[in-house]
Structure 1
Amino acid sequence: MQRIIGVTFLLLGLLTQSYGQVNTVEGIPFIQNYGPDTYLGGIQNWSIVQHQNGLLYVANNLGLLEYDGHSWRNYAVKNRTKVRSIHIADDGRIYVGSQRDFGYFSPDQRGQLSYTSLADSLSSSLRDFDETWKIYGMGDNVYFCTFSEIFIYNGSTIKAITSDFPLEISFLFEGVLLTQEWGKGLSKLSNSTLELLEGGAFFKDKRISNVFRYNDDQWLISTFSEGLFTYSNGVITPMKVSKSLDLSQLIVNYATRLSSGLIGLGTQNGGLIVINQSGELIYQFDQSSGLKDRTVNFIYEDLQGNLWLTLNNGISRVDLNSAFSRIDDRFSLSGSGYTALKSASGLFLGTNNGLYQFNSKTGKYNLVPGTSGQVYSIQEVKDRLFVGHHNGPMEIVNGRAKLLFPEKGSWVFKPLPSDPDILLQGTYLGINKFNTETNRFDKIPGFEESSRVMEFDGNDLWVTQGYKGAFRLSFSPDGNEIQNVKLYNSENGFPSDLLINVYKIDNQLIFTSDSGFYQFDAATDRFTSLKPLDELVGADASIVDMEADDKGNIYFIERNKLGVLKPKGNFSYELTTKTFNKVKNLWNDDLGNITVLDEENILIGAKEGFIHYSPKKDQLKQNNFNVLLREVKNEGVNDSILNYGHPFNQEIGTPSLFSYRQNSFQFSFAAPHFESDGQVAYQYKLENFQEEWSEWSATNFKEYTNLREGRYKFSVRAKNIFDQVTSETSYEFKINPPIHRTTFAYALYGVTAFILIFSGFKTVEVKHKRKTQAIEDSKNEEIQQRDSKIQDITKKSEDEIFRLRNEKLQTEVGLKSQALTSSAMHLIQKNQLLNQIKNTLKNINKEQEDKQLVKELGRIVRSIDKDLSTGTQWDQFQANFDQVHGNFITRLKEAYPGLTPQELRFSAYIRMNLSTKEIANLLNISVRGVEIGRYRVRKKLELKRENNLSDFILRF
């Protein structure tokens, strides 16, 4: 056992070495593993085949596995024995061979697979075979190949072919069934007998694992442990293989020719080996490459070009024909990818963990000593390798890194156009000048911005930043100083100050922003949109990185997609992005980078290592990618599965019928596009309920509940990661109405309505007389109602007249109140004027000596006093006041007869809310006299101290 293990590890080392020698750039194809916990079966898997509808079937220790790209199903055979072989016939039957049994799975009326054993119909003498390792279909016959007999099933009967020699594995080769008779050689089945091939005795003791076409004239015959042989008309020749590939140390379980022309070898102890027709090693995949197991039992290439491997422990899918592969820790490369360079010194890859160089002897990447840490760039300038590193600028000399300048944060180097010996180094804190002749670094003053993205335009240097804009720096001819710095941002044509970058494509500067492409217009000193690129990539595109190859293909990374612009001539391009959808979620979104090593090798910095893109392999496969209904479930009072996802028996145009109580449905669907790895998107609609297609979604089921009666058609379609869209798959059904909305119910409603109408007409005649009398009575009543209405109108008219009179009276009262107030105010003014005149005359009288004049002035004063004390105005005022204030003075006089006329006037003036001064003028008394008057009135009205006189008079 120790010897076997040692030989195996030695062999794997040789294979890895050979792999590295052949492939110096290309990485490991994408590999997807499926374990027993995923497919819910046994660990061992054997044969594998794909149905024309896309479903994949695998022979497993615990039954037949079925995979639709979304979920796995397991179908057990009789006695739950191990399934070894599969064949799918044209009629859709899935024939399986297992331990001591063989038969077929076929869908029932509901599309559910059920197993039928054919071996049970054999006679007891033939029933004791061991295992059915191979099944082939040819014409109307199916061949079940065991190690003791070959059973031929024609659809109704089974015929057994036996041999005097033990049988080994059988093969179907170009319409001929071949089998190995141990001790005799390789034979063919002819007219129900086994005939030894010309030269077939060569294989009497060499176990054959497969036979297939090698070229136009030769077959290729692989053996388990004796190597590979070509066969042509009885001439057998060992196939020469690479010296590094020692087939004597390998057990080849299966061999086949791939669609690419390469030859795949599934080995027991060396994983999957791929060679070309010259025997040169192209690939070797085992556990170190990402396979789940190193024992490969079978190789199958599906309809989409994916390579499926059945393993001793699990299943693996290798996207061997994909244009993309991965360079990661399986090559001893650690970290996220940031930069790459292919030079005469070798292939270098920079990550956040250091700079790595490819070692062609080991097929691995070795860390360049002294470069541990973040690497930003690797450049070759004048046959020297310079590294932009977090720890500072470095140079690779004799396989080691040499620190050139102890300033941390080196981004990139750019040669000075006027002097190629001078390099400008972009750093975290500005720009340094590096003289390659003297190896001297000098800080260039005048610019201290981080300078990661730089490009020369003549002698001017553009430095762009992600959050400020684009700086234009003008240098002196010797590059010693910056003569001018100007910042361009949203004020100079950019849509914003964010995510500004600059790239030199075909000696033309292309600027990008957070939305769109731009170019600098020197005439206007502004930036203008690059319409052609905006129209192709999108005016809202935000480019992360761009680089062109020698053919003019422009590869780019955009925040939402990756792609390439292929030149078509006349300065126009063709945009291709679909093929890059496979890796659009894998690129390093820190400082995204895409590097063109040469026309056939493009590297994309990934979150883990790098993604290698090979344009020559980029051929979008057109295949029968389609969407399948995997389950149709009817829900309601009773739940039931209508179809289990295999061919429908529903006739086109004939919908399934359901009662209204079963008006809820659930549809599950899948599209077997395995390279999409669960990223298939779906659209669906339900005609007569949802006429428009839904949004694309990864959800692979849809439920409809409480549908109304009617005819429906559920349709679904799928889209893979390459944006290929399938044709739609449909299921039609019809829901019957509830009993109260059936045709019978509506007929019953009609009969009932007719009876009611008929009965109505029968009663019309009787009702007519009643109606006539009723009309007469109604007319009389109407006359009475009219009289009553006239009376009501008369009453309303009288009420309206009364209301108008009241309004008129109120208006008159209001006018009188205004007149009364005006009169009082005039009286106050007149009394004030007379008092002033009287006082003036008195003063004059005192100063006069003429007695006659004094006498005359006294007479005038007395006349004024008489006028002030006269009551002629009061009588008219009292009459008007009583009309306005509801006979206030009369009622007050009757209630309090002890009040004097002066006190009545006093009370009236208080009710008019006149001030003390105004009252004093009206009564021709002093303010003190008014206060005394208020006191006397309070006393005669018998008011208490807490009662307010004004409030009492106003409420009286």
Structure 2
Amino acid sequence: MSQIKLKTRYLLCWLSVVLLFLGTCPIAVLMAQNQDNFKGLPFITNYGPERYKAGIQNWDIIQDGRGALFVANNLGLLEFDGENWNRYGLNNTKVRSVLLGSDGNIYVGSQADFGFLSSDAKGKLIYTSLADSLPAATRGFDETWKIFEIEGDIYFCTFERIYVYDGRETGAFEAENRLEISFKVDNLLYSYVVDQGLTLFNDGKFELVQNGDFFKDKRISSIMKYDNQQLMITTFEHGAFLYNGTVKPFQFKGDFWRNEFLINHATRLRNGNIAIGTQNAGLFIISKEGNRLLHLSKEEGLQDLTINYIYEDNYDGLWLAKNNGLSRVDLNSPFTFIDDRMGISGAGYTALKSEELVYLGTNNGLFVWENDQIEPIKGIDGQVYNIQRIKGRILVGHNNGTYYLDGKTAVKIHDENGAWLFRSIPGESNLLIQGTYTGLNLFEWSGSDLLFKQKIEGFGESSRVMEFDGEYLWVAHGYKGIFKLKFSPDYTQVTESKLYNNQDGLPTNVLNNVFKISNQLLFTANAGFYDYSVDQDRFVPNDEYNELIDPGAMLVDMEADEVGNVYFIEQNMLGLIKPQPNHQQIVHTAPFNKIRRLWNDDLANIMVLDNQHILIGGKQGFIHYSPQLDIPQEVETQILFSEISSQGVQDSILFLGNKFSSTKSAPNFETVLDYAQNSISFEYAAPHFESEEEVTYQFKLENYDVDWSPWSLENRKEYTNLREGEYSFQVRARDIFERETEPATFTFEIKPPIYRSFFAYVFYTLGGGFLLFLGFRWLDKRHQQAQSKLKEEQDRVLEIKDNEIETITQRTEEEIIQLKNEKLQNEIEHKNQELTSSAMHLIQKNQLLNTIKSTLKNLSKDERTKQINTQLGKLIKSIDKDLDGGGEWSQFSENFDQVHGNFITRLKEKYPDLTPQEIKFSAYIRMNLNTKEIANLLGISVRGVEIGRYRVRKKLKLERKDNLSDFLLRF
């Protein structure tokens, strides 16, 4: 049952809101119409020639699909992307007209020329003249004042003829008389023909429209739709007319229009109002009915009164092409200025709306705004702090005292300096408490007069911010904290006073405030919102508001309107808290960013005059806020690349921004850069002209940056010495209303340096393989050399070992040989001894035998028996046979050869003439036997030995000087 009641209550609330809205809509509209005179002057941004760096005169304006602006200027065609101005010279002629064609080309008309600008692959605008290809008969003309497109054909309108370009060729059409300016309405082309009037250009002919001759002595400056049946035609010198076949004057309501005003151009705005640019009176904005809504001249902020053309951009801003410069007027902004241009001076501090009057208090005095006029109230110069309406009286708190207003006259009611404000005492309708520099004053009503009663005793602190909560008065002090005061029954003195500071729940002792919102107290400090807890007798955070606004916010003023919107000012932020049907609240701050640098930061104050008129104290006067005009714009801002270039061995332009694509004005081509061009810079812009120079940007280079950069006002980014690879640069913008654009993207690739290219890696691979091969070969060779060296070393060691072994072996062998030799020598010596012994034995034997023989011979001489002589003879023959010793010599020679190296054999071979006796003789000499011994061995005499020696020498062919014994010993 409770849920049903709750739903029913919600439904009733919704019905009430709807009925209230439906019932008050006409009233609200009427109030808005009646109170438009309370609006100030719009934001105006002036662009002088020194800013856009071109000629002073401007004639025509267009906006392309990216949002960039193009302006026909005396020194060429200007381009403005919100950040940068560019100028295109176009044959050094004065450009008078410009048109964005449906084909994407920008058509321009100038002195004695017309043509078009088209973008190349890199977005660079290239100019092509169409007039240069005209035949000589139609080439001559002075100015191309207007360009129109009708069903794909481009019409270049000059004062001599109209040229029609169909994309391939250009035709020329002349009127009977000289032409003036031409106009397009509903795809119909109208031209003013001198001495004829208004004509319709149709099928190459100029046909006078019905009653068109009415204008033959009235030069037409513009033609536009007025409604579905009528055209509005303005003239340079004769005002404006309505035309539907018949002509009737357009009536300007009121006395603002003068006949001497010359109309150069007029256009119908999107909201139905009409903008009129004059030659000598600036800009007028009028309603369809002819009521003046706005007049801007030099006094209101324009640099020049002569307006040649008016253009409404995508964001409903009004661009004025002037005789000297350009201006942009924010017509549909919810903010306007009330400042010295309207007759007010000083910084704004307080304001109050009372019936048809608005009172404005500044540091220079009090001003009254009535019937679109602001004038000062005399007698109340200087700092005004507060204006309040209590019991029908307008009370003014002033540095010099307290005043009330009698009409437009100020009357001082108390002299004490530093009167801040009044607060009504709950339950005491006749008493008021006033806060001052030095405490509190008590005032009392006497009829309609307010009288000072006395200074309230017991409290002497400055009381600029204070609110009642039942019987208690809360006073916020600038640097001590918040006081809670209780008064005596007659309010003449403070009976209780308690100071709450950082010991009682407040974050600090300074910059604390107290406000009454929806009949409830709300305390603020430099760390958010607080409530006073009666049970704890201290301050506690207010979660509801702290969730809405940053807890670190430091609010300086808050005020609610009748429908529950709460406007607030924080040190760095201004906004409103809006109640929602679901009993929730939202914070709306983004639109107020436009004025965040303009409000008065001394004693910041926001004043709700009524639900549709909010004033913010400004550094110069006041800023007016119209909630009904605070409508989110439907047009999305685009971000565009103004220029992309690469730097390296040489600078190169990659993109110049004038190429439209589906990628949010980004280049729709891929770019491949050499490694020598690996530094790249980006310039970008977001043509949100209302933000002026407060557009911020954020970028990221994929494959390089980890995350998006912080938001910055800088509209240029450069990367240097990028490595090879694929990159994607993304950038997005955020306007002053905190709306972000979709990112614009530019993709590019940096080729590796030649030493890191594919072919280089192939080369490196092959080269590396070859080097590895050579390396392995070298290592193998080195290994082989090492092995060889090792083998050689081993061989050397082995050789040394072998040598050592061989030496040892040789030594051993030598020792063995020596031993053998010694053995042989011993054997030889032994054999020599044996030979010698044998020789000696033979000698002795032979001596014995010879002796016996000799004895036997002597016996035989004796006379013996014949038989004995015969036996003796046989014995002597046996002795001779034994002395001959043939068998013994053979054995002796064999042993002798063994001992003396085959001496006998060699001697026989070399000297074959030697007789065996001589050979024996030589052997015996070699044995170093003396002559006698040899004689005994050979059985010859000593003389025989000498003769033998001689014969041997002769056969051996020895000379006299040669010694036979030495020769035979050496042989």
Query: Which interval holds the TM-score relative to the shorter structure?
Result: 0.7 to 0.9
In 2, distance between residues paired with 1:183 and 1:752? 89
Paired residue for 1:420, among 408, 426, 429? 429
Is it true that 1:536 corresponds to 2:548 in the alignment? yes
1:609 aligns with 621
* Cα pair 1:180 1:186 within 8 Å, conserved: yes
SS across alignment from 2:763: helix
Alpha-carbon shift at residue 36 of structure 1 (Å): 0.8
Alpha-carbon shift at residue 746 of structure 1 (Å): 1.6
Is it true that 1:48 corresponds to 2:61 in the alignment? yes
Is it true that 1:57 corresponds to 2:70 in the alignment? yes
SS across alignment from 1:502: strand
1:646 aligns with 658
Q: State the Cα deviation string for residues 166-193 of structure 1 (Å, max 9, x = none).
A: 2121111111111122222222222222
Paired residue for 1:36, among 49, 66, 70? 49
2:415 aligns with 406
1:286 aligns with 297
Aligned AA (1:395) = Y
In 2, distance between residues paired with 1:20 and 1:652? 48
In 1, distance between residues paired with 2:424 and 2:158? 73
1:874 aligns with none
Distance verdict in 2 for CA 1:478–1:773, change over 3 Å:
same
Distance verdict in 2 for CA 1:493–1:205, change over 3 Å:
same
Q: Percent identity?
A: 47
SS across alignment from 2:400: coil
1:678 aligns with 693
* Cα pair 2:65 2:660 within 8 Å, conserved: no
2:364 aligns with 353
2:684 aligns with 669
Aligned AA (2:275) = G
Paired residue for 1:310, among 316, 321, 328? 321
Q: State the Cα deviation string for residues 574-621 of structure 1 (Å, max 9, x = none).
A: 111111111111110000000000000000001111000001111121
Alpha-carbon shift at residue 499 of structure 1 (Å): 1.2
Paired residue for 1:727, among 733, 736, 742? 742
2:868 aligns with none
Is it true that 1:488 corresponds to 2:500 in the alignment? yes
* Cα pair 1:348 1:356 within 8 Å, conserved: yes
Distance verdict in 2 for CA 1:580–1:311, change over 3 Å:
same
Alpha-carbon shift at residue 441 of structure 1 (Å): 3.4
Structure 2 residue runs of 5 or longer lacking an equivalent are 1-31, 798-971
Is it true that 1:389 corresponds to 2:398 in the alignment? yes
In 2, distance between residues paired with 1:307 and 1:421? 54
Aligned AA (1:112) = K
Is it true that 1:26 corresponds to 2:39 in the alignment? yes
Aligned AA (1:88) = L
In 1, distance between residues paired with 2:43 and 2:783? 92
In 2, distance between residues paired with 1:251 and 1:506? 54
Aligned AA (2:44) = I
In 1, distance between residues paired with 2:332 and 2:190? 30
1:754 aligns with 769
Aligned AA (2:598) = L
Alpha-carbon shift at residue 74 of structure 1 (Å): 1.4
Is it true that 1:551 corresponds to 2:563 in the alignment? yes
Aligned AA (2:439) = G
In 2, distance between residues paired with 1:434 and 1:287? 48
Alpha-carbon shift at residue 760 of structure 1 (Å): 5.5
Paired residue for 2:716, among 665, 689, 701? 701
Alpha-carbon shift at residue 731 of structure 1 (Å): 1.6
Alpha-carbon shift at residue 480 of structure 1 (Å): 1.6
Aligned AA (1:755) = F
SS across alignment from 1:28: coil
Alpha-carbon shift at residue 570 of structure 1 (Å): 5.0
1:160 aligns with 172
Aligned AA (1:85) = S
Is it true that 1:123 corresponds to 2:135 in the alignment? yes
In 1, distance between residues paired with 2:514 and 2:697? 39
Alpha-carbon shift at residue 769 of structure 1 (Å): 9.3
Paired residue for 1:736, among 744, 748, 751? 751
Distance verdict in 2 for CA 1:423–1:515, change over 3 Å:
same
* Cα pair 2:356 2:370 within 8 Å, conserved: no
Distance verdict in 2 for CA 1:526–1:761, change over 3 Å:
closer
Pairs within 5 Å for 1:209-288? 209-232=221-244, 234-288=245-299
2:606 aligns with 594
Distance verdict in 2 for CA 1:124–1:519, change over 3 Å:
same
1:333 aligns with 344
2:671 aligns with 656
Alpha-carbon shift at residue 329 of structure 1 (Å): 0.3
Aligned AA (1:564) = L
Mean CA deviation greater in 208-217 or 280-289? 208-217
SS across alignment from 1:753: helix
Query: Which structure's CA Rg is the greater one?
Result: 2
TM-score, L = length of structure 2: 0.76
Alpha-carbon shift at residue 531 of structure 1 (Å): 0.9
SS across alignment from 1:171: strand
Alpha-carbon shift at residue 247 of structure 1 (Å): 4.7
Q: State the Cα deviation string for residues 815-866 of structure 1 (Å, max 9, x = none).
A: xxxxxxxxxxxxxxxxxxxxxxxxxxxxxxxxxxxxxxxxxxxxxxxxxxxx
Paired residue for 1:562, among 563, 574, 589? 574
Mean CA deviation greater in 442-451 or 416-425? 416-425
Mean CA deviation greater in 390-399 or 676-685? 390-399
Alpha-carbon shift at residue 635 of structure 1 (Å): 0.8
Paired residue for 2:93, among 62, 73, 81? 81
In 2, distance between residues paired with 1:588 and 1:777? 100
In 2, distance between residues paired with 1:399 and 1:191? 67
* Cα pair 2:655 2:667 within 8 Å, conserved: no
Pairs within 5 Å for 1:787-936? none
2:931 aligns with none
SS across alignment from 1:126: helix
Alpha-carbon shift at residue 640 of structure 1 (Å): 2.2
In 2, distance between residues paired with 1:653 and 1:742? 26
* Cα pair 2:667 2:746 within 8 Å, conserved: no
Aligned AA (2:507) = P
In 2, distance between residues paired with 1:281 and 1:134? 29
SS across alignment from 2:299: coil
Mean CA deviation greater in 731-740 or 691-700? 731-740
Q: State the Cα deviation string for residues 750-781 of structure 1 (Å, max 9, x = none).
A: 22232344446657499469549959989x99
Alpha-carbon shift at residue 63 of structure 1 (Å): 1.0
* Cα pair 1:588 1:607 within 8 Å, conserved: yes
Alpha-carbon shift at residue 127 of structure 1 (Å): 1.8
Paired residue for 1:371, among 360, 380, 384? 380
Q: State the Cα deviation string for residues 264-296 of structure 1 (Å, max 9, x = none).
A: 111111111111111111111100000111111
In 2, distance between residues paired with 1:770 and 1:705? 52
SS across alignment from 1:102: strand
Aligned AA (2:419) = S
In 1, distance between residues paired with 2:472 and 2:432? 14
In 2, distance between residues paired with 1:612 and 1:38? 29
Give the ranges of 4+ consecutive aligned residues of structure 1 lying more than 6 Å apart after TM superposition.
19-22, 648-653, 775-778
In 1, distance between residues paired with 2:306 and 2:783? 100
In 1, distance between residues paired with 2:375 and 2:208? 55
Alpha-carbon shift at residue 632 of structure 1 (Å): 1.2
In 1, distance between residues paired with 2:781 and 2:113? 89
* Cα pair 1:227 1:247 within 8 Å, conserved: no
Aligned AA (2:313) = D
1:111 aligns with 123
2:891 aligns with none
1:96 aligns with 108
Alpha-carbon shift at residue 344 of structure 1 (Å): 3.2
Structure 1 residue runs of 5 or longer lacking an equivalent are 1-18, 782-956
* Cα pair 1:416 1:479 within 8 Å, conserved: no
* Cα pair 2:147 2:155 within 8 Å, conserved: yes
| CA RMSD of superposed structures (Å) | 2.3
